Amino acid sequence: MADLISGTQIATDIIEKELAPRVERLKKSGVVPKLVVVLVGEHPASAAYVRQKEKSAAKAGIESEVRRFEESISETELLEEIEKINTDNSIHGVIVQLPVPDHISVERILKTIDPLKDVDGFTAENVGKLFLGEDTLECCTPKGIIRMLEAAGETLEGKKVVVVGRSNIVGKPVAILALNRNATVTLCHSRTKNLEAETLQADILIVAVGKERMIGAKHVKPGATVIDVGMHRTEEGKLCGDVDFDEVENIAGKISPVPGGVGPMTVVSLIENTIEAAEAQKR
Ligand code: NDP
């Protein structure tokens, strides 16, 4: 039976042992790190994610504010709101909770957010720096995955890492972060010819496909470490991932659960990025 990699426990430890003391130091120097979450329209899943972010921010001692806008807000008005946040020195980090309504371009939002306040790590400048291996605000889910692997005692150097999914927010950046740590990386996607042959090579398998329980025991090398990024609600109302946990826990060496795996690591990375942004802006 695989060992469980508990994102919930790792995230709690990071907040208590690392982030809260950093926030205290900033506060002593007169800086209270502040995150603003921009929420457009009513989206039940987004509302739940935003609540988790507010809760973790409070635990770390940072300030957070949710700016809510009607679904009908125009793109120009929203971009003006982001400009206001960019120039407000009391705000260190901003994210626009996705999805946004169809009449608003995510690309234009990302071109407007100040890269120094881009705590999601989605702007072209921050993605470019991540690609170059420079210090930057790294995208939260990939950063959280690497931290959770390290906390579970995994070294990436020389390991065969297989990532399934090549999105700009998870698959591609996590592949680059693993590569920057000297792993040998394979990035799979919907046109990969023989997925099973690729995933069976993995010492570390990271799955971000967005398909409920798609990865089963037949995809996993015995003893491999499996990180499940997927998040789905089943017909019975239970949360599950892209990995068939019941099958794979019998074959993997270590596995992250859903819920309680990558989700809390994503949130803790957002809080850490806000602290990093506040430290950088103070300098
Ligand atoms: P996207 O839909 O943007 O990307 C999915 C990727 O999976 C694509 O690259 C696609 O390939 C690939 N794919 C789809 N089907 C297959 C297949 N049959 N075989 C191989 N590859 C396939 O998803 P995201 O990266 O945004 O999210 C993935 C999952 O992670 C979702 O369930 C999402 O909810 C969850 N998530 C969870 C987070 C957390 O914090 N826990 C954060 C972000 C996401 P192609 O490019 O060829 O189309």
Q: What is the DSSP string of 202-236?
A: -SEEEE----TT-B-GGGS-TT-EEEE---EE-TT
Residue nearest to atom 17 of ligand 1 (CA): 190
Query: Could you please report the per-residue DSSP string of 79-124?
Result: HHHHHHHHH-TT--EEEEPSP--TTS-HHHHHHHS-GGGBTT--SH
What was the pLDDT predicted at 282? 85
34-63: burial string, b at 16+ Cβ within 10 Å, e else:
bbbbbbbbebeebeebbeebbebbebbbbb
- Locate the domains of the chain by residue range: 30-114, 140-263
Residue nearest to atom 48 of ligand 1 (CA): 190
What was the pLDDT predicted at 48? 84
What was the pLDDT predicted at 252? 98
Categorise residue 132: left if φ over 0, alpha if ψ from -120 to 50, beta otherwise. alpha
Tokens 């680059």, residue?
A: 176
Question: How far does the centroid of ligand 1 lie from the alpha carbon of residue 31, in Å?
Answer: 37
Q: Does a cis peptide bond (omega within 30 degrees of 0) precede residue 33? A: no
Topology alike, domains 30-114 and 140-263: yes
What was the pLDDT predicted at 195? 98
What was the pLDDT predicted at 44? 80
Q: Is 129 a catalytic residue?
A: no
CATH number belonging to domain 30-114: 3.40.50.10860
The superfamily CATH assigns to domain 140-263 is NAD(P)-binding Rossmann-like Domain (3.40.50.720)
Q: In this structure, are residues 274 and 33 in contact, taking their beta carbons and an 8 Å threshold? A: yes
Q: Give the global pTM.
A: 0.97
What was the pLDDT predicted at 272? 98
> Ligand 1: which of 43, 148, 189 to mutate, most ligand atoms within 8 Å of CB?
189
- Parallel, antiparallel or unpaired: strands 160-164 and 204-207: parallel
**Rg for the chain (alpha carbons), in Å?**
19
Quote the DSSP letter at residue 243: B
Q: Is 53 a catalytic residue?
A: yes
What was the pLDDT predicted at 46? 86
What was the pLDDT predicted at 42? 86
What distance in Å separates the CA atoms of residue 240 and residue 259, rounded to the nearest whole number?
Answer: 7
Those residues of the chain that have pLDDT short of 70 are none
Question: How far does the centroid of ligand 1 lie from the alpha carbon of residue 15, in Å?
Answer: 28
What was the pLDDT predicted at 154? 96
